[in-house]
Structure 1
Amino acid sequence: MPLTAADKRTTFKKMHESGCFILPNPFDVGGARALQQLGFEAVASTSAGFAWSIGKPDNRVTVDDVCDHLTALSAAVDIPVNADFEGGFAVEPDKVAANVARGVKTGVAGLSIEDSTGDAAKPLFDFKLAVERIKAARKAIDADNSGVVLTGRCEAFLWGQPDLNLVIERLQAYSEAGADCLYAPGIKTNEEISAVVKAVAPKPVNLLLIAPSRSLREVADLGVRRISVGASLARMAWAGFMKAAQEMAEKGTFTEMANVYPGQLNKMFK
């Protein structure tokens, strides 16, 4: 019998209580189902990977686009789906709350809200507003006792502000505002990771890994609870696609076709 949204949310919450798990990021339904068959216990959407799959740049999709995508992902697999919900597709806390309420209805087990503005001149929302946005998301999630895991993200490192004290101050505030999990994409060193883990304990921390720098065991030893890979799987898929397509377009040859996936995809999706 397929698992209900409530079942997936209960499972996802328990996954954050101990140990460390990989939360890979598929960009479509087929990828999500393949990851489930490979044994992953949960997956997360990727804003960039999904945007590219529908011919848009990252951060240029609509809340309608994303909610439709999340509904499809959640229905396609019997494991929890965590939503990359960008900045909530709004600035004002009440509008973030309204969009989060829509996101919860897609069946996701988790949902993240980030604090980046998209403006390079002022990349992060003011501290007070950023905290109020997390509070609004928490309230929207709790309105129907959904049990969705809320992740608070500080994007400072990704926007050229590698100030660990700033990141920790924000993550602690997001935790107090109701975030269940904390995430600072872009932190890399053992010292940075350990400092974040210690600062928000006992809340779990998500780590972004987009390069082959560490193993699951090494990350677990730092106290991290979950690992995501962002748009890396999408980039890998595009790498193979573009390499073969460029060869055909520029040389009229087809040697890259020798590198197709050797597995039986039809059997995977039966």
Structure 2
Amino acid sequence: MQQTDKARTFHALHVKGSPLILYNTWDAGSAAAVAEAGAKALATGSWSVAAAHGYGDGEKIPVEFLAQVARRIVETVDLPLSVDFEGAYATDPQGAADNVSRILDAGAVGINFEDQIVGGSGLHTIADQAKRIAAIRAMAEARGVPLFINARTDLFLKESDRGRHSHLIAEARERAKAFADAGASGFFAPALVDEVLIEDLCDAAPLPVNIMALKSAPDAATLGRLGVARISHGPGPYRSAMAWLKDAAAAVYG
């Protein structure tokens, strides 16, 4: 399947109320296993890819190496691939666009692009993040690829007191609208687990909403009823796989 066809297929899989489920992978082998299990599309998780190759999260893995990992997945499995690209390894719009271009070169058709200041504190302003998204969209359009830009907000992830998440929902709506206007394709709100707030965001956001599968989050069926269009599993699959591997090895060496 050609890259543009994969991109269109990936967009079409985001249906409000019938969420695309992404069991995040970290290399070609894990991607092949998830594909064989019946996945319709693939997505990496930044934490998992970094850990699998001996790096910490937060853009510690070199961008060239990350692009190589993405290329090996694309060459191994003929499914649409979205790459968790954190903050695009740049703060300025042109730098972000140039780096995302490397991910397109690898054959991926989507990215996660977050609004937290990687390596710093807080979030990029709405205006600054919108400029970064717009630059990435312009680059992708110039290349003729309908890139799926999954605009992630870290509003809820950075507020550990979930009782305060209701105070953040208005800004989340504002960010979703601004990011949509700038050219984003989806809106990702990791750590948002309250059903009322998830439904509120799904009703208000002009983009398909992505929620992360956490133990404290509603199950997939409930998320679908709330209007979610995409469910990500983040680092959970990697952690589970490594826990199994460690236990299996311990039984051998025990």
Q: Tell me which residue corresponds to 1:229.
A: 233
> CA-to-partner distance for each residue in 1:100-136, whole Å, 9 max, x for gaps?
111111111211211111356x321122211111111
Q: Tell me which residue corresponds to 1:98.
A: 98
SS in structure 1 of the partner of residue 143 of structure 2: coil
What amino acid is aligned across from residue 25 of structure 1 in structure 2? Answer: N
What amino acid is aligned across from residue 99 of structure 1 in structure 2? Answer: N
Matches within 5 A, 1:182-197: 182-197=187-202
Figure out how many residues of one structure are paired with residues of the other and give that number: 246
1:211 aligns with 2:210: no
Moved more, 8-17 or 133-142: 8-17
User: How far off is 1:30 after superposition?
Assistant: 1.1
SS in structure 2 of the partner of residue 83 of structure 1: strand
User: How far off is 1:4 after superposition?
Assistant: 2.2
Q: Tell me which residue corresponds to 1:176.
A: 181
Residue pair 1:74, 1:81 contacting (<8 A) in 2 also: yes
Q: Distance in 1 between matches of 2:111 and 2:23?
A: 15
User: How far off is 1:40 after superposition?
Assistant: 1.0
Q: Distance in 1 between matches of 2:102 and 2:236?
A: 27
Residue pair 1:25, 1:45 contacting (<8 A) in 2 also: yes
Residue pair 1:62, 1:89 contacting (<8 A) in 2 also: no
TM-score (ref. length: structure 2): 0.90
Superposition CA RMSD, Å: 1.8
Matches within 5 A, 1:59-208: 59=58, 60-119=60-119, 122-160=121-159, 162=165, 163-201=168-206, 203-208=207-212
User: How far off is 1:243 after superposition?
Assistant: 3.7
What amino acid is aligned across from residue 139 of structure 1 in structure 2? Answer: A
> CA-to-partner distance for each residue in 1:29-79, whole Å, 9 max, x for gaps?
111111111111011011010101110111211211211111111111111
| Percent identity of equivalent pairs | 29
Larger radius of gyration: 1
Q: Distance in 2 between matches of 1:220 and 1:231?
A: 21
User: How far off is 1:247 after superposition?
Assistant: 6.8
Q: Tell me which residue corresponds to 1:260.
A: none
SS in structure 2 of the partner of residue 112 of structure 1: strand
What amino acid is aligned across from residue 205 of structure 1 in structure 2? Answer: V
Q: Distance in 2 between matches of 1:143 and 1:155?
A: 29
Moved more, 54-63 or 203-212: 203-212
Q: Distance in 2 between matches of 1:245 and 1:24?
A: 24
SS in structure 2 of the partner of residue 239 of structure 1: helix
TM-score (ref. length: structure 1): 0.85
Q: Tell me which residue corresponds to 1:238.
A: 242
> CA-to-partner distance for each residue in 1:207-260, whole Å, 9 max, x for gaps?
111227433221111111111100100010121233455677xxx62xxxxxxx
User: How far off is 1:6 after superposition?
Assistant: 2.3
User: How far off is 1:171 after superposition?
Assistant: 1.7
Q: Distance in 2 between matches of 1:57 and 1:92?
A: 23
Q: Distance in 1 between matches of 2:93 and 2:13?
A: 29
Q: Distance in 2 between matches of 1:192 and 1:242?
A: 38
What amino acid is aligned across from residue 229 of structure 2 in structure 1? Answer: R
Q: Tell me which residue corresponds to 2:49.
A: 50
SS in structure 2 of the partner of residue 150 of structure 1: strand
What amino acid is aligned across from residue 105 of structure 1 in structure 2? Answer: D
Q: Tell me which residue corresponds to 1:12.
A: 10
Structure 2 runs not aligned, ≥5 long: none
SS in structure 2 of the partner of residue 158 of structure 1: coil
Q: Distance in 1 between matches of 2:143 and 2:119?
A: 34
What amino acid is aligned across from residue 183 of structure 1 in structure 2? Answer: F
What amino acid is aligned across from residue 20 of structure 1 in structure 2? Answer: P
What amino acid is aligned across from residue 212 of structure 2 in structure 1? Answer: L
Structure 1 runs not aligned, ≥5 long: 254-270
